[in-house]
Every structure is written in C-alpha cells, then in structure tokens.
Amino acid sequence: MRDVAVIGIGMNRWGELWEKSHRQIWTEAALEAIDDAGVDHVDAMFVGCMSGGLFMGQEHLGAMLADQLGMGPIPGTRVESACASGGLAFRQAYLSVASGMHDIVLASGLEKMTDVDGGAATYALSTAADQEYECFHGITFPGLYAMMARAHMAKYGTTEEQLAAVAVKNHENGSKNPLAQFPMKVTAEQVMNSVLVADPLRILHCSPITDGAAAGILVPLDMAKKMSDKPLVKVAASAQASDSIALHDREEITWIGSTAKAAEDAYKQAGCTPKEISFCEVHDCFTIAEIMVTEALGFFDRGQGGKAAESGETALGGTIPINPSGGLKSKGHPVGATGVAQIRELVMQLRGECGERQVKDAVRGMSQNMGGTGASTAVHILERV
C-alpha cells in the first residue's frame, strides 16, 4: 500500500442555497479542490450522498457529476452509508490511491436537503434508522438520540448544562468559520430555553438541515512532494466499522461501539494513542452524540464526556479541541458532505490556515463520521509531514 496525501480541498458556504442546484453546489467544491491541488485532471472520483433520490429526485450521481465536471470517461462512484457517506467516500478514494489503482482521485460529498418540506426531510433522514422496528412505531432521530441522552444521564449523571456546553462551544468555534451555516454565538441559557424537540433535546442541541458540498484531492505521497508547495498532509489511518442499526439490538445504548472499533483500528494504523491527537472533528448531529463519541474515541472515560465539555477540555485551548470548525451544530450538516468537510478542516488545521480557530501546534488530526445512531462509522487520522 502506498502512502497517500491530501493536496487539495474545497467547500462552499453552507446553508439554504435556494438559488443553486445540487450539481452547481457540488461542482463549486470540486473545482475549488482541483484548483487548490493545482491539477488539471483526476483519474477517478467518489461522491458521498445519503439520499439524492428523496431529497432531489436524482440518483446515478457518480456518472452525472463526472460528466458535470467535464471528465466523463473517468469512473465516478456514488457512496452511501447514511450520514457517514462522505467519510466513506473519502475512504474509498484513499483506498483507490493507496492500492495503486489510481494516482489522482477526487473525494467529495453532497446533499441538498432544503428543496423538500420538513416532513419529507424527516422521512428521508429516517431511512438511516431501522424501518421495521423503529420508524414503523413513529420514532425519529431526535427521539432516538433523546433516548440515548436520557440513558447516559441516568447512568453517568450527565446534565442538561453539560449538553448545553457542547452547543455553546461549537457555536463559539463556528463564529470563526466564514463558511458556517449558523456562525452566531449562543449562551447556555439560550440553549436550555430553546424549543423542546425530544426531551431532553432542544432545538439548539440539534444540527440543522443544510445544503452543501465538500471535496478533496488525494495523490500518492511521493507524487505530492513533487507537485505541491503547500505543507503536506498525509493520511495516517483510515478505518471503518459497523453496529446494529436499531438501538434495541445493542448491548449498551450509551456506547457507540462502531466508533470505538474504528478508532481502535485507526490508532493501530497510525501508531499513536488518543493522547497524541492534536484535535478532532466529530459527528455532533446532537450534543449528546459529541459527548458519547469523545468517550468512544478514548479521549475520556465512559460517562466523563459531559464533564469534559463543561470544564473546557474540548474548547480550542483545551486538552483536546473538539470540532474547531463549529461541527455539524454550527457549520451545518448536509449529510452526504459532512465527512469530507471534516477532512477539509483537518487539512486546513494541519497546514495552519484556520486563522482565529487555529489549533496551536497541530500535528495530528482525527475525524469521526457516523451514520444513523452509530450503525456505521468512518475514522481518519491525518498528519502533517
């Protein structure tokens, strides 16, 4: 297997992009990544998209977007794993380059979610849950994560104040991100007094519905050394794991087993420990998700993620900065694009390009992107060369 570097990244401003089609949104990010890499072609491309058919009425995205890019003969592949689609599209691009199958590969993610009403969006997202055993009985993702939150609170003493601390921190970071959908700061009081969605989760505990895309260009590390004058960023680890989709099939609903397993494999590949990670982008679709993920990644003991957020350990100046981009909560969550946007943030941080939200002395970054309530997880570790 060859060493692989990320030499180009792209992303547009996320939000409710009424005036742009899904192909426009994707092409903007793809061309920006190509320009950033300084290449004039790609050998293959992968696009993560959870539900193009339900959100946009468009499937067959791999071929369509390869043609849209003007590179139609190349293989274009759509990757789906619910909200982990982007992370797994990046993983497929990585494996394509590492295996020697292709030299210059575009990894991308896309979702256009706001062209349908709230009910249709809820239905589309619910396809990532167990239709027969969960959705048939009326549950939605806010309800599923609310159950996870209540169980975590009952078992470990996690508090509503600790949940709010995650939202406050991520909006503080997002206020420094010019591409974030909701770059405004919030207070704990605002979070705790916002509209109740599914007890104990309120609207400011939840990530939004978003239109957006992100992209990256991957090449062999040896090639990158010859073609890029930017600081080099190497993919040190790429790991994937799965779990049952339905919560009731899991041994413990306060533990995201797929994330723990993927992280274990990633640390082994990179030859490092959680203490050697400079910062991490995690899948905070709900504030309780960030708390549980930081525990599964090994940054904190089980049940201690909420206390860590409340004490400032996960803030930009803390022991392990979490979501310096603002995370899904502030940056936005176009589900198929999120995993690739996390990679973009890792590359920018490791290049030292993040301005006010720059993590000091960042040498190794991690991303964790998951589908549903953690039935699928992609974990990546990138290093500054």
Q: Which residues are catalytically annotated? A: 83, 333
Report yes or no: 28 and 10 within 8 Å, Cβ to Cβ.
yes
Could you tell me if residue 291 is left (phi over 0), alpha (psi between -120 and 50 degrees) or otherwise beta? alpha
Tokens 């909560």 belong to 329
Angstrom CA distances, 221 to 41, 147, 237, 265, stand at: 17, 44, 14, 22
> Distance between CA 110 and CA 340 in Å, rounded?
9
> Distance between CA 275 and CA 355 in Å, rounded?
24
Q: The tokens of 23 are what?
A: 């192909």
Q: The tokens of 240 are what?
A: 């994937």
Tokens 């939202």 belong to 167
DSSP state of 248: G
Report yes or no: 185 and 172 within 8 Å, Cβ to Cβ.
yes
Asked whether the bond before 200 is cis by omega within 30 degrees of 0, the reply is yes
Pairing of strands 201-202, 196-198: antiparallel
The secondary structure of 131-185 as a DSSP string is TTTTGGGT--HHHHHHHHHHHHHHHH---HHHHHHHHHHHHHHHTT-TT-S----
